[in-house]
């Protein structure tokens, strides 16, 4: 393989995936918020809620199409750029991707058209059902994608087949109920709910600051803060669950996130901040909180969390064991049915370390010819870049906790202070709009960069997964994607801003009919009509 090909392939995958995930979280959360608003509309019949549904629905639609458009790339990129990966694990990884299409994406994509075009063609209840089906479809999509991703982090329910030279599924339910996948799913969709809540809250806060559409804005904040508070709590709790499962599934990732160079006596301290130095194998200027890491990671006072140095030593043993497996595998591949049973037994014994031998392929064509120095290099490779994930993780967690505070404050004001919000809080609401996206992208960075050097943890090295393309191929498509996506992003942002500035579309006729029909009770507790604009703060 040409030098730099793997790096370019990774860069392209990372860029297109991170770009795709600019739109996904908003789709996940906004689909539910819109469905909640429409539920209130159908239950109360108040036109303001229909207006809210349509307004946020329009923004949902502008965002949704780019999620769909960039998702097309994702479905095919594994085959285009990661052909050996596709061959090696497609038997397991392909299944959740296909089920996502069957069960989830078909549902959301079929009904999303009806959501926009069906207002006059469907009864209220039928349209509400359509809105919920879109929301359910979107969220089920996330479930199956995260089952696929969870398997890359924690490859359960599969074993290597020497005849086909790939991993094959042994237990579908283990793949589906993979603890890593389940924790990741709830963590990720909750992050989507927080994103959408912050978005709705921020845009509404801007309206309140401008004194525009205040009725819509106040009600929207009420919905967003309640939903957002629950989601923000869930993100943190499930993030902790992910950390706990990493302590026994991806020890190296956990050690790197925490920059734990040496194994510490239990319970280990948590490094709040510091400057990890991979060369010196230490974290400079570390501020530590005693016991906390041990408690989060193992939920016990006595269990140790292994440090990076210890894990590298273990990796080295696994590389050696992997070489034995590789040697046996090559015999099986050439002898096939004539393979002596003891060779098969040797392979069975060492096959789970086969991936570690494949790490050597970067340095030597046949892992059996590896020198001691190359084995050491392969073992060292199992440590991901420490300081980037150390910091990315801390920024993500910091943002995660701040969302709880913001949502709690707005929820309190919305519930107990008559939906009156101080101007400083509204300004803060506008400023923080981009932050959930930063947190979400950093989260993916921690998860995927922290998984390196593997595409499938302990099974298949990234360096071996890429397609045999030329650098020219990659430069053409990478440039193409960057230019194309940048243009789409600018177009999308332009439309979003245009429709936010334009504000909700007032369905005058319907509002008038409703007012007439309900004129006898058109008085709220403060003696004003329900459509009287409350003065700006």
Partner 1 sequence: MILHDLISFDILRVIWWALLGVLLIGFALTDGFDLGVGALLPFVGKSDTERRVIINTIGPVWEGNQVWFILGGGAIFAAWPPLYAVSFSGFYLAMFLVLAALILRPVGFKYRSKRESATWRTTWDWALFVGGAVPALIFGVAVGNVLQGVPFYLTPDMLMPMYEGNSIMKLLGLLNPYALLAGVVSLSMLLMHGSAWLGLKTEGVIADRARRIGSIAGIVAALSYALAGLWLAFGIEGYQIVGEVVKDGPSNPLFSEVVRGGSWMDAYAIRPWIAVAPIMGFVGIALAVMGLRAGREVSTLLWSKLAIFGIISSVGLTMFPFILPSTVDPSSSLTVWDSSSSHLTLFVMLVCAVIFMPLILAYTSWVYKVLWGKVAEDDVTQNSQSY
Touching partner 1, residues 119-138 (CB under 8 A): 119-122
Touching partner 1, residues 430-489 (CB under 8 A): 467-470, 472-473, 476-477, 480, 484, 488
Touching partner 1, residues 321-360 (CB under 8 A): 330, 333
Contact region for partner 1 (CB under 8 A) — 169-177, 310-318, 415-423, 447-455?
Answer: 169-177
DSSP-derived secondary structure for 91-122: HHHHHHHHHIIIIIIHHHHHHHHHHHH-TTTS
Check: CB of residue 309 under 8 Å from CB of residue 255. no
Q: Is residue 159 classed as helix, strand or coil in its secondary structure?
A: strand
Binding status of residue 511 toward partner 1 by CB under 8 A: no
Binding status of residue 4 toward partner 1 by CB under 8 A: no
Check: CB of residue 365 under 8 Å from CB of residue 326. no
Nearest alpha carbon to residue 358 among 326, 383, 316? 326
- The residue among 110 and 519 lying less far from partner 1, judged by its C-beta, is 110
Out of 291, 363, 409, 499, the only residue in the binding site for partner 1 (CB under 8 A) is 499
Minimum Å gap between C-beta 452 and partner 1 is 21
Out of 46, 84, 266, 503, the only residue in the binding site for partner 1 (CB under 8 A) is 84
Count of positions on this chain that bind partner 1 (CB under 8 A) = 79
Minimum Å gap between C-beta 108 and partner 1 is 9
Out of 90, 453, 503, 530, the only residue in the binding site for partner 1 (CB under 8 A) is 90
Nearest alpha carbon to residue 217 among 197, 196, 203? 203
Residue 32-71 contact track with partner 1, rule CB under 8 A, x = bound? ----------------------x------xx--xx-xxxx
Alpha-carbon dihedral sign for residues 121, 126, 130, 135: positive
Binding status of residue 163 toward partner 1 by CB under 8 A: yes
Binding status of residue 171 toward partner 1 by CB under 8 A: yes
Classify residue 137 as exposed, middle or buried by CB count within 10 Å of its CB (0-12, 13-18, 19+). buried
Check: CB of residue 368 under 8 Å from CB of residue 471. no
- The residue among 85 and 390 lying less far from partner 1, judged by its C-beta, is 85
Contact region for partner 1 (CB under 8 A) — 257-265, 373-381, 437-445, 492-500?
Answer: 492-500
Rounded alpha-carbon distances, angstroms, from residue 274 to 268, 287, 383: 16, 6, 18
Q: Is residue 535 classed as helix, strand or coil in its secondary structure?
A: coil
- The residue among 57 and 429 lying less far from partner 1, judged by its C-beta, is 57
- The residue among 169 and 404 lying less far from partner 1, judged by its C-beta, is 169
CA 347, CA 535: separation in Å to the nearest integer? Answer: 76
Minimum Å gap between C-beta 17 and partner 1 is 14
CA 460, CA 156: separation in Å to the nearest integer? Answer: 14
Contact region for partner 1 (CB under 8 A) — 24-32, 91-99, 252-260, 377-385?
Answer: 91-99
Q: Which two tokens stand for residue 168?
A: 């094959």
Greatest distance between any 2 Cα atoms in the chain: 91
- The residue among 170 and 524 lying less far from partner 1, judged by its C-beta, is 170
Out of 97, 209, 428, 500, the only residue in the binding site for partner 1 (CB under 8 A) is 97
Contacts of 299 (CB under 8 A, 6+ apart): 244
- The residue among 131 and 389 lying less far from partner 1, judged by its C-beta, is 131
Binding status of residue 165 toward partner 1 by CB under 8 A: yes
Contact region for partner 1 (CB under 8 A) — 118-126, 211-219, 342-350, 376-384?
Answer: 118-126
Check: CB of residue 397 under 8 Å from CB of residue 258. no
DSSP-derived secondary structure for 521-537: G---TTS--TTSPPPP-
Minimum Å gap between C-beta 499 and partner 1 is 8
Nearest alpha carbon to residue 221 among 196, 240, 185, 247? 196
Minimum Å gap between C-beta 456 and partner 1 is 14
Binding status of residue 117 toward partner 1 by CB under 8 A: yes
How many CA atoms are closer than 13 Å to the CA of 105, on its beta-carbon side?
19
Binding status of residue 105 toward partner 1 by CB under 8 A: yes
């Amino acid at each position: 393989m040409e030098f730099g090909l793997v790096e370019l392939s990774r860069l392209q995958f990372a860029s297109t995936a991170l770009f795709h995930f600019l739109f996904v979280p908003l789709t996940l959360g906004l689909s539910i918020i819109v469905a909640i608003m429409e539920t209130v509309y159908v239950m109360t019949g108040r036109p303001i809620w229909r207006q809210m549904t349509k307004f946020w629905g329009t923004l949902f639609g502008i965002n949704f199409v780019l999620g769909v458009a960039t998702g097309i790339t994702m479905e095919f990129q594994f085959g285009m750029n990661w052909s050996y990966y596709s061959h090696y694990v497609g038997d397991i990884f392909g299944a959740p991707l296909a089920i996502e299409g069957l069960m989830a994406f078909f549902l959301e994509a079929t009904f999303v058209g009806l959501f926009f075009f069906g207002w006059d063609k469907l009864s209220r209840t039928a349209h509400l059902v359509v809105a919920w089906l879109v929301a359910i479809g979107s969220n089920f999509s996330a479930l199956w994608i995260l089952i696929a991703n969870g398997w890359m982090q924690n490859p359960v329910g599969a074993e290597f087949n020497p005849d086909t030279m790939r991993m094959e599924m042994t237990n579908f339910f283990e793949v589906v109920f993979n603890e890593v996948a389940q924790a990741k799913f709830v963590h990720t969709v909750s992050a989507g709910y927080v994103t959408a809540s912050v978005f709705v809250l921020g845009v509404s806060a801007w309206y309140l600051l401008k004194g525009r559409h205040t009725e819509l804005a106040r009600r929207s904040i009420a919905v967003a803060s309640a939903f957002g508070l629950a989601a923000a709590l869930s993100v943190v709790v499930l993030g902790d669950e992910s950390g706990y499962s990493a302590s026994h599934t991806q020890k190296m990732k956990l050690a790197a996130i925490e920059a734990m160079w040496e194994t510490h006596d239990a319970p280990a301290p948590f490094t709040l901040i510091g400057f990890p130095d991979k060369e010196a194998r230490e974290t400079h200027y570390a501020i530590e909180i005693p016991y906390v890491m041990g408690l989060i990671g193992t939920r016990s006072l006595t269990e140790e969390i292994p440090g990076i140095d210890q894990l590298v030593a273990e990796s080295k043993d696994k590389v050696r064991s992997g070489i034995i497996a590789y040697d046996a595998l090559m015999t099986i591949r050439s002898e096939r049915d004539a393979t002596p049973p003891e060779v098969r037994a040797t392979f069975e014994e060492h096959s789970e370390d086969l991936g570690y031998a494949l790490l050597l392929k970067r340095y030597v064509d046949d892992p059996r010819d590896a020198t001691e120095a190359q084995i050491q290099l392969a073992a060292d490779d199992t440590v991901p870049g420490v300081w980037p994930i150390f910091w990315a993780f801390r920024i993500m967690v910091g943002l995660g906790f701040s969302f709880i505070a913001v949502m709690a404050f707005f929820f309190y004001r919305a519930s107990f202070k008559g939906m009156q919000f101080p101007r400083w809080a509204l300004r803060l609401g506008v400023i923080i709009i981009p932050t959930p996206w930063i947190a979400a992208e950093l989260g993916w960075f921690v998860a995927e960069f922290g998984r390196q050097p593997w595409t499938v943890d302990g099974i298949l090295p990234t360096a071996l997964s890429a397609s045999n393309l030329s650098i020219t191929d990659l430069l053409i498509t990478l440039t193409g994607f960057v230019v194309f996506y940048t243009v789409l992003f600018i177009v999308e942002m332009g439309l979003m801003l245009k429709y936010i500035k334009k504000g909700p579309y007032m369905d005058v006729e319907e509002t008038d009919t409703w007012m007439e029909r309900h004129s006898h009770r058109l008085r709220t507790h403060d003696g004003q009509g329900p459509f009287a604009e409350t003065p700006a703060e």
